[in-house]
Amino acid sequence: MSPEAALARDDGLAGKVAVITGGGSGIGRALAVAYARAGAASVVGHFPGDPHDVGETVAAVEAAGGRCLPVAVDVADPAQVDALARAAVAEFGRLDVGVAAAGVLRRAPLAELDDPAWEEMLSVDLTGVLRTFRSCAAEMTGPGALVAVSSIAGGVYGWHDHAHYAAAKAGVLGLVRSLAVELAPRGIRVNTVVPGLIESPQSLDPVNSLGPQGLADAGRLIPRGRVGTVDEAARVIRFLTSEDAAYVTGQSIVVDGGLTVRWPS
């Protein structure tokens, strides 16, 4: 066993079971693989309309020596989210970790931001987190961990043409802080990861996000000199759900290579 694998086995995740929404690609997929390397099984929720193949997630998990159950889910539907959490218990006999990584990103200037567009965004990116946490917490019979994926857009900065997205991601921070207090007596910790510019299918979308050239240009403004990877974001989530973070709850960890603390120049 490599030193990295030995360390992972000591973080208390071996034998645990995690539910991950948004696991068809991006941070969710990287996290499923990270859990596999730590000896944890995962139930990966994927949106049926997502163009990314969840089979690639399953294959990557199995290649890392882990177990993974893919389940189609729309986090805008509470019944489907409830079924996702129950699937973990039915398949693996327990549920220890819930990670809300599902999200959508749509560009919409204020003049075009009608009520349906606003409500769709919040239903997935904010209320979807609530549904995931509510369903997972209901199936946890002992201590556990919940993590939401926010964004520096809303979590730290504003973002023009994305007011609905930023509002949802900012709302996640308040939701997590409140649930951390509410669920602490049950031994359930609740935290947030706030990714900066991470190269993912979402950020590579040139219509709704920065696109490849925008990411390359932005990377030069980041103190680390580049944008982040989905694996780097996933490792922070893995840490927050491990015993290494046993006394960490209600916190938001920014993963941005120093972007948000750099003095403008």
Return the domain boundaries, the chain: 3-195+230-254
Average of pLDDT values for 134-149? Answer: 98
As separate numbers, helices (DSSP H) first and strands (DSSP E) second, the chain gives 10, 9
Q: What is the pLDDT of residue 3?
A: 47
pLDDT exceeds cutoff 90 at 49: no
Confidence at 204, pLDDT banded by 50, 70, 90: low
Domain at 3-195+230-254, CATH class = alpha beta
Which residues are catalytic, by number? 165
Determine the angle formed by the axes of helices 127-139 and 163-183, rounding to 10 degrees: 20
**Tokens coding 35:** 């859990």
- Angle, alpha carbons 25-196-225 (nearest 5°): 105
- pTM for this entry: 0.93
Categorize the per-residue pLDDT at 1 as very low, low, confident or very high, splitting at 50, 70 and 90: very low
